[in-house]
A and B are shown apart, each in its own frame.
Chain A
């Protein structure tokens, strides 16, 4: 359907209230994190509140955060992508293969890998937006396909990656490793785009009411394809960065990442039905999960109890804003 020539209605600005303190899911999350940090700092004063632990925490959550920035755009528009973990692995493997077996220099292999990632995202977007396959089914299918490609090409792993490539994931600047800087750049740009630009704010409108968005002149299909392409690109970038960081591309990496990231995005304030969510909220969600995992290992909890506790904490954190009577 061609775009209407009439001026589209402005998408709704994020809800704010002048004056007063408002308990949103993000603020509840931040309060819980603060409580957890204080508790852990008191319980483990010598080892928890250290620069080394902080940088380790940030380093380990960085790539989930990068993918979370893509996922929040999708979820704001009312869909999600289950293939991100597989894309993460596949692009890392394909880029590594291009550099080792195909002999391409990193300066060519990296853009090629990112192009493959974007095309994978476009494929997802096309299936969901044009062919009207349910996002769950479409991306469940591509999740299997991408993982299969990763295993087919990568086997038990592709090692001996060129040092110029590995340096991209291992360089430190001001005491922080490059994945952390990547997250900061992606997050700042992402937050600005999602909150301040007319183009990206249309995703809120699509998520809130796709039919109204269409009638107001927003090309919902093109926007959805764009969102999936962006998600693919960010997942591929994260996968490539991880391969550089480890200096090996493994076909089993990223397994289960999609659920972790979707959980973090929801924790950070997004909704499965669309219409809300922010990049900062997503980062808070990713940080929260990483922090809880970090503290549970400090506390020497067994893996079984870790799973139970993380599940309970998630339910409590998400349930808190319902209990506090959050406005839709």
Chain B
């Protein structure tokens, strides 16, 4: 007769595993004690500090080319760990969930690219309650409890683009098409800045059209706008794929020189279009500064000896600047060769 294995041994095994797991989890929840200052003449070891960058579309090519490398450079200089995370899509639910999971890990600081500012208010508040400093980079959440925003002022970027457009059109009158991610907060800021300049110049901005952040869609939309608008004299793109798409549409319609094109970002594809004379001006962002300065701000918040009150946190005084505007620059045919050379 087969001897039955006693049931309680499997039960007790499961119980013991559960207890061990809980003990391990509780141990990991223990907050790190603040690090004692380094003895004079010695370099402090911050290698146990982790700073986390989170954004939707975490694998966006622009991030991989600019933001991520700069974050890792800053981390190396400071001797801390940097982690890059976030959903690979624009899934806001997943984004919030990942922020909250990150908070539970108790990092030394978090850099968030807000994308939808309203969505991150609650998770940033949770981070604040947990004593974790948060900065926003690239896209701000101004009504949240973030310490600092580091990024481009998109209204100013729109103004810069508007100035380039108005200058190139030199008094001509007609319609200007706008393409971008129309529901995005930063694009809306840029549209407003752009309109504030071109309307004063007597130009007529059209209703912004969505290009889904895809140059193929941008080309499709732009080519239809070209056909449907006889008095079109300019087109402005507001996401990194708009410029290439608009440029393609203008080229294929045989309208180079007849339609002035301006766009955002100054990647090789945009610079080549300037060189070809298809695009008049590209407004570049200093994206590396977002994460390089963002991590440094968080590090300083954690380690700076500067104090404004006996308890800055209780007093609601932020130990960091409110906003760091990293600025932008304009690339035209006059200076494009400088940008085309490798750095």
Size category of the binding interface on chain B: 35 or more
A174 to chain B, nearest CB (A): 16
Is there contact, CB below 8 Å, between B228 and A44?
yes
Contact A293:B224 (CB < 8 A) given known A151-B61, A252-B214, A302-B207:
yes
Is there contact, CB below 8 Å, between A159 and B272?
yes
Which of B43-51, B137-145, B215-223 lies at the interface with chain A? B215-223
Contact A60:B227 (CB < 8 A) given known A157-B268, A250-B244:
no
Is there contact, CB below 8 Å, between A246 and B225?
no
Q: Decide yes or no whether B283 CB sits under 8 A from chain A.
A: no
1/0 contact string of A42-84 vs chain B (CB within 8 Å): 0010111010110011011001000000000000000000000
Q: Decide yes or no whether A148 CB sits under 8 A from chain B.
A: yes
The B interface, classified by DSSP as helix, strand, loop or mixed, is helix
Which of B214, B219, B228 touches A298 (beta carbons < 8 Å)? B228
What are 8 of the A-B contact pairs (CB < 8 Å)? Answer: A53-B227, A56-B223, A56-B249, A59-B252, A157-B244, A159-B268, A252-B215, A255-B213
Q: Name the 6 nearest CB pairs between A and B, nearest first.
A: A303-B210, A53-B227, A159-B268, A60-B220, A156-B61, A56-B223
Size category of the binding interface on chain A: 35 or more
Q: A56-B224, A59-B223, A297-B221 are in contact. List 9 more A-B contacts (CB 8 A).
A: A48-B227, A147-B88, A156-B240, A242-B216, A248-B215, A255-B213, A256-B214, A300-B206, A306-B210
Central interface residue in B213, B229, B248, B253, by most chain A CB within 10 Å: B248
| Chain A contact residues, CB within 8 Å of chain B | 44, 46-48, 50, 52-53, 56-57, 59-60, 63, 144, 147-148, 151-152, 154-157, 159-160, 177, 242, 245-248, 250-257, 290, 293-294, 297-298, 300, 302-303, 306
Closest to B220 in A: A60
Is there contact, CB below 8 Å, between A50 and B248?
no
A172 to chain B, nearest CB (A): 9
Contact A160:B268 (CB < 8 A) given known A254-B216, A297-B228:
yes
Q: Decide yes or no whether B230 CB sits under 8 A from chain A.
A: yes
B138 to chain A, nearest CB (A): 15
A2 to chain B, nearest CB (A): 43
Write out the residue numbers on chain B whose beta carbons fall within 8 Å of the beta carbon of A154.
61
B243 to chain A, nearest CB (A): 11
Write out the residue numbers on chain B whose beta carbons fall within 8 Å of the beta carbon of A155.
61, 64-65
Q: Decide yes or no whether B296 CB sits under 8 A from chain A.
A: no
Is there contact, CB below 8 Å, between A245 and B224?
no
Write out the residue numbers on chain A whose beta carbons fall within 8 Å of the beta carbon of B61.
151, 154-157, 250-252
B59 to chain A, nearest CB (A): 5
Which of A56, A156, A159, A253 touches B227 (beta carbons < 8 Å)? A56
Write out the residue numbers on chain A whose beta carbons fall within 8 Å of the beta carbon of B59.
147-148, 151
Is there contact, CB below 8 Å, between A252 and B223?
no
Is there contact, CB below 8 Å, between A157 and B216?
no
